[in-house]
């Protein structure tokens, strides 16, 4: 019985006064009301030339068209195909904006043909519709790849 009293006494002392880490877990911490300081370092990057921008947009548009082709051949989900389509259109639009009137006249049929396919892209395509879209997009990609390399279109890019 002596041991029981000693054990309870020891336990009371440990809980009441000792074991700081245990007590620290249950004591609320004061909230720091001051927001942390944020330091922003701005860095200026050199402006890219129109040649470099055009080459980037050309590569991006070509890659997104290839992604659409892969998606129609494989089983990519609809959102991925839709994203690839919107990115291809966006990059072709950027290319159109840097062209002069003659360049816009040359790229407009491809751009309009690509925009015309927007309504045909859906999550529930039959095999025939899928093959039709695949053939159209492959045709657009081939014509875009051959006819709009920088060496051929450099005279159409407006110098701002």
Give percent of the chain with pLDDT exceeding 70.
92
Quick check: 77 pLDDT over 80? Answer: yes
Q: How far apart are CA 9 and CA 105, in angstroms?
A: 95
What mean pLDDT comes out for the span 84-109?
93
Instruction: Identify the pLDDT of residue 156.
Output: 87
pLDDT on residue 56: 94
Work out the mean pLDDT of the chain and round it to a whole number.
87
Task: Please answer whether residues 82 and 126 qualify as being in contact, where contact means their C-beta atoms are separated by less than 8 angstroms.
Answer: no
pLDDT per residue as tens digits for the range 92-101:
999 999 999 9
**What does the pLDDT look like over 31-43, one tens digit per residue?**
878 888 888 999 9
Q: Of 94, 133, 129, whose CA–CA distance to 113 is shortest?
A: 133
Tokens of 103: 């360049």
- Bridge partners of 99, per DSSP, are 157
Smallest CA-to-CA distance from 85 within 45, 47, 41, 123 is with 123
Work out the number of other CB atoms within 10 angstroms of the CB of residue 50: 14
Q: Is the pTM of this model over 0.75?
A: no
17 pLDDT higher than 80: no
pLDDT of amino acid 18: 59
pLDDT of residue 20: 67
Residue 64 in contact with residue 91, Cβ under 8 Å?
yes
């Amino acid at each position: 019985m002596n041991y029981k009293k000693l054990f309870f006494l020891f336990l009371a002392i440990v809980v009441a006064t000792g074991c700081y880490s245990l007590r620290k877990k249950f004591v609320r911490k004061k909230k720091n009301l001051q927001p942390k300081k944020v330091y922003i370092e701005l860095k200026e990057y050199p402006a890219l030339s129109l040649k470099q921008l055009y080459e980037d947009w050309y590569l991006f548009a070509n890659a997104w068209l290839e992604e659409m082709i892969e998606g129609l051949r494989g089983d990519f989900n609809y959102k991925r195909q839709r994203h690839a389509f919107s990115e291809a259109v966006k990059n072709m639009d950027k290319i159109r904006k840097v062209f002069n009137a003659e360049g816009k006249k040359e790229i407009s049929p491809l751009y309009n043909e690509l925009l015309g396919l927007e309504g045909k892209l859906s999550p529930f395509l039959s095999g025939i519709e899928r093959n039709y879209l695949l053939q159209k997009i492959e045709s657009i990609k081939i014509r875009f790849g051959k006819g709009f390399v920088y060496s051929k279109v450099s005279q159409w890019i407006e110098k701002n």
